[in-house]
């Protein structure tokens, strides 16, 4: 059996699976863990999930009796609490030694300011596991693309954070050398050294071509291919090689079903395009067939790699070129009334890969047509944007018209944060340069310069969200439609405004308390504006008449579990959820594959109706390729029962 290298490479110590949400990363990671643990009983394996919305437990990998396989779902909030409990005193001592801040200020910022909560805690946990050497191979099921790239970029972020802490000790070291003649490293130096070594060791491992492998997983669909291309480009910039790419759920050739044949033709045309243009020339393409059963048990996962095959040109040589099938009529069952005239904010949310971007785009075009006097903005703050691929035109950080009264934006969250840092650095430098030459602020300067490196997690994403909120506040648009990040990161984003609000208040108190040092009017003005927009967004989010969250799912047990979590969080945050779209459903037919998928989905649909009986549910069947404005309009026409009026 010809198999991908990562299933046979004996020197591997760390294996990441990554890609767009919903492409089967968890399945690939779990199936690989079972395959290798069975093939190499003398070795020990650890399967880890870093996604805030974990799926490993829903795959039931724990049903296996393999003694050489452990499973761990990283709980970032718990790890953060443990990190603070273990190291809070050391962090406080470091800050007190090197800055003008008092203990109350330091407590406030330490409470709020550990950067990249989910990714950093996951990264440090993986570093600890790798450095302990207790397992021959660690297999990691990662979060969707944008947040995985943050995880991969954490060595640089962690170094900046550690350098910020180290700069706080610099003044103490200098003073000891002056008054004692020498500086003797103590427990605080050891604390920073141990953290830095842990990060450096993992970074070194991730640069080792023999011991580390990153395997992208995708579907033969436009949005998935587009996102994978961006992922490969960014990984290449990080000097991370991707020798293999998995294309999941390719329909079998022998199937005579007309629906399956049309879908397979579309898949193979997509594969032929990427094969021909050389986009994936540095990677060997491997395809896994569409199975008739959901990969939600150890028994099913054991057969996952049995059908894998290398993608060769003869796979699609007989497939005719042609246009993809457009969106058909009668795709939607039980459509619900559209949003009311007073609606100002719609969040389209759910598990990765369930079609949020497509439905957000289709909804924007439908509502734009129904209310031609309304100005609508559909936007994305997800680090891995997909609106460009969905509309089949370049969407960037500047508003771009996609219809007469509909505009689209893909907001660059990191760029918004970098802009704040640039203003802060420029104003701080100008202020310090005007101080008396007799004042020695060598060490305090460095501390002040690094203050924003200790910002709360999610600040960049909230700032991006506030860009859209400001457009509404300026009356540029009447309705905002947010294409949300996948469930776990959306939940963090919805919780983050409260943390950011606390952080802004802490900064304002700092400006007042140390007004002789922190005289930064431009930054202060920008933060005051952020604070006002945050209040507007939080008020709007909890106003049932003006704001709503459209939940999107697919009919699988894993998606049901995430939808359940999302509904619980929305109830706690008092967010209005008027409808659930169950997307990409399979119609029943005489085709054995379609019939088997339909039966499985019906069972899950009944669970949805039972567990979420309070929530109106609309089913959207697979009905062609909803890409490009014309197809999105056709889909949008079917989504809602009534016009916005």
pLDDT higher than 70, residue 108: no
- CA distance linking residue 213 with residue 284, whole number of Å: 13
- Tokens at residue 409, please? 């934006």
pLDDT band at residue 115 using 50, 70 and 90 as cut-offs: very low
Task: Give the contacts of 286 (CB within 8 A, at least 6 positions apart).
Answer: 4, 244, 245, 246, 247, 308, 309, 310, 311
pTM attached to this predicted model: 0.78
DSSP 308-336: -EE--GGGTTTSPP-PPPPPPS--EES-B
Average pLDDT (105-125) is 63
pLDDT higher than 80, residue 451: no
For residue 352, give the nearest of 26, 16, 12 by alpha carbon: 26
C-alpha dihedral sign at 535, 536, 542, 548:
negative
Q: 151 in helix, strand or coil?
A: helix
pLDDT digits (tens, 9 = 90+) for 605-625: 999 999 999 999 999 998 877
- CA distance linking residue 34 with residue 41, whole number of Å: 11
pLDDT higher than 70, residue 439: no
pLDDT digits (tens, 9 = 90+) for 177-210: 766 666 677 788 888 888 888 888 888 888 888 8
User: What pLDDT shows up at residue 645?
Assistant: 43
- CA distance linking residue 388 with residue 385, whole number of Å: 8
288 alpha carbon, distance to own chain's centre: 24
- Phi and psi at 309, nearest 5°, equal -145, 150
Domains of the chain, with CATH numbers?
5-75+119-148+211-315 (3.40.50.300), 332-415+461-508+539-639 (3.40.50.300)
In this structure, what DSSP letter does residue 456 have?
P
Bigger pLDDT: 536 vs 104? 536
Convert 331-350 to b/e letters by CB count within 10 Å (16 or more is b). bbeebbebbeeebbbbbbbb
In this structure, what DSSP letter does residue 180 have?
H
Q: 197 in helix, strand or coil?
A: helix
User: What pLDDT shows up at residue 501?
Assistant: 73
Q: 136 in helix, strand or coil?
A: coil
- Tokens at residue 11, please? 């020197």
pLDDT higher than 80, residue 596: yes
- CA distance linking residue 327 with residue 480, whole number of Å: 25
pLDDT higher than 90, residue 599: yes
Task: Give the contacts of 185 (CB within 8 A, at least 6 positions apart).
Answer: none
168 alpha carbon, distance to own chain's centre: 32
Asked if 506 and 405 touch (Cβ cutoff 8 Å), the reply is no
Share of the chain above pLDDT 90, in %: 29
Mean of pLDDT over the chain: 81
Average pLDDT (337-360) is 90
pLDDT band at residue 35 using 50, 70 and 90 as cut-offs: very high
Asked if 245 and 283 touch (Cβ cutoff 8 Å), the reply is yes
Provide long-range contacts, Cβ within 8 A and 24+ apart, for 185-190: 187/90, 188/90, 188/93, 188/94, 188/97
pLDDT higher than 80, residue 510: no
Lowest-confidence region among 241-245, 396-400, 419-423: 419-423
The burial class, CB within 10 Å (0-12 / 13-18 / 19+), for 183 is middle
The burial class, CB within 10 Å (0-12 / 13-18 / 19+), for 133 is exposed
pLDDT digits (tens, 9 = 90+) for 38-91: 999 999 999 988 776 556 665 555 556 688 998 888 777 777 778 777 877 887
For residue 628, give the nearest of 361, 269, 349, 228 by alpha carbon: 361
Q: How many residues does the chain have?
A: 645
- CA distance linking residue 219 with residue 228, whole number of Å: 9
| 45-49 β-sheet, strand order | 69-73, 45-49, 137-141, 14-18, 212-219, 244-250, 284-289, 309-310
User: What pLDDT shows up at residue 369?
Assistant: 92
CA dihedral 208, 210, 214, 220 (to 10 degrees): 140
Share of the chain above pLDDT 70, in %: 79
- CA distance linking residue 448 with residue 464, whole number of Å: 24
Lowest-confidence region among 284-298, 303-317, 358-372, 586-600: 303-317
């Amino acid at each position: 059996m010809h198999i991908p290298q990562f299933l046979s490479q004996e020197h591997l110590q760390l294996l990441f699976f990554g890609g767009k949400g919903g492409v089967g990363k968890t399945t690939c990671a779990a199936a690989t863990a079972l395959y290798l643990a069975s093939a190499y009983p003398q070795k020990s394996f650890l399967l880890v999930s870093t996604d805030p919305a974990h799926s490993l437990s829903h795959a039931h990998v724990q049903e296996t009796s393999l003694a050489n396989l452990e499973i761990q779902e990283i709980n970032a909030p718990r790890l953060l609490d443990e990190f603070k409990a273990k190291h809070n005193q050391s962090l406080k001592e470091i800050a007190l030694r090197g800055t003008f801040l008092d203990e109350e200020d330091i407590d406030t910022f330490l409470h709020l300011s550990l950067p990249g909560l989910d990714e950093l805690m996951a990264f440090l946990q993986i570093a600890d596991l790798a450095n302990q050497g207790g397992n021959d191979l660690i297999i990691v099921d990662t979060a969707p693309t944008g947040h995985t790239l943050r995880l991969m970029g954490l060595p640089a972020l962690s170094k900046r954070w550690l350098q910020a802490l180290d700069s706080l000790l610099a003044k103490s070291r200098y003073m000891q050398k002056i008054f004692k003649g020498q500086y003797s490293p103590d427990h605080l130096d050891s604390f920073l050294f141990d953290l830095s070594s842990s990060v450096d060791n993992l970074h070194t491992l991730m640069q080792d071509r023999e011991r580390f492998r990153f395997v992208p997983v995708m579907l033969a669909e436009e949005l998935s291919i587009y996102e994978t291309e961006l992922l490969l480009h960014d990984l290449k910039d990080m000097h991370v090689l991707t020798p293999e790419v998995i294309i999941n759920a390719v329909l079998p050739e022998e199937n005579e079903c007309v629906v399956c044949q049309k879908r397979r033709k579309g898949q193979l045309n997509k594969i032929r395009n990427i094969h021909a243009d050389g986009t994936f020339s540095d990677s060997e393409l491997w395809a896994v067939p569409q199975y008739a059963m959901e990969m939600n048990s150890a028994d099913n996962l054991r057969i996952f790699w049995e059908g894998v095959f290398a993608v060769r040109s003869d796979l699609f040589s007989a497939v005719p070129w042609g246009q993809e099938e457009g969106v058909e009529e009668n795709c939607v069952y039980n459509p619900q009334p559209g949003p009311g005239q007073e609606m100002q904010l719609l969040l389209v949310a759910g598990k990765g890969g369930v079609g949020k971007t497509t439905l957000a785009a289709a909804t924007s075009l439908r509502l734009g047509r129904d209310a031609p006097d309304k100005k609508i903005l559909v936007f994305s703050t997800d680090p891995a944007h997909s609106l460009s691929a969905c509309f089949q035109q370049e969407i960037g950080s500047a508003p771009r018209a996609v219809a007469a009264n509909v505009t689209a934006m893909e907001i660059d969250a990191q760029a918004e944060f970098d802009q704040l840092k640039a203003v802060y650095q420029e104003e701080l430098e100008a202020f310090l340069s005007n101080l008396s030459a007799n004042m020695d602020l060598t060490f305090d300067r460095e501390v002040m310069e690094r203050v924003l490196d200790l910002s709360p997690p999610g600040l960049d994403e909230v700032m991006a969200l506030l860009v859209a909120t400001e457009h509404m506040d300026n009356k540029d648009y009447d309705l905002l439609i947010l294409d949300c990040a996948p469930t776990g990161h959306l939940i963090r984003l919805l919780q983050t405004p409260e943390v950011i609000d606390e952080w802004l208040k802490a900064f304002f108190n700092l400006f007042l308390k140390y007004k002789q040092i922190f005289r930064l009017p431009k930054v202060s003005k920008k933060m005051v504006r952020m604070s006002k927009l945050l209040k507007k967004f939080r008020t709007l989010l909890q106003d049932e008449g003006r704001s709503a969250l459209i939940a999107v799912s697919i009919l699988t047990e894993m998606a049901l579990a995430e939808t359940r979590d999302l509904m619980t969080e929305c109830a706690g945050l008092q967010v209005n959820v008027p409808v659930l779209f169950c997307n990409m459903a399979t119609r029943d037919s005489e085709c054995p594959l379609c019939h088997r998928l339909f039966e499985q989905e019906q069972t899950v649909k009944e669970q949805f109706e039972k567990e979420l009986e309070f929530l109106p549910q609309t089913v959207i069947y697979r009905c062609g390729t909803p890409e490009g404005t014309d197809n999105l309009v056709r889909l949008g026409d079917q989504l809602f029962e009534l016009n916005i009026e």
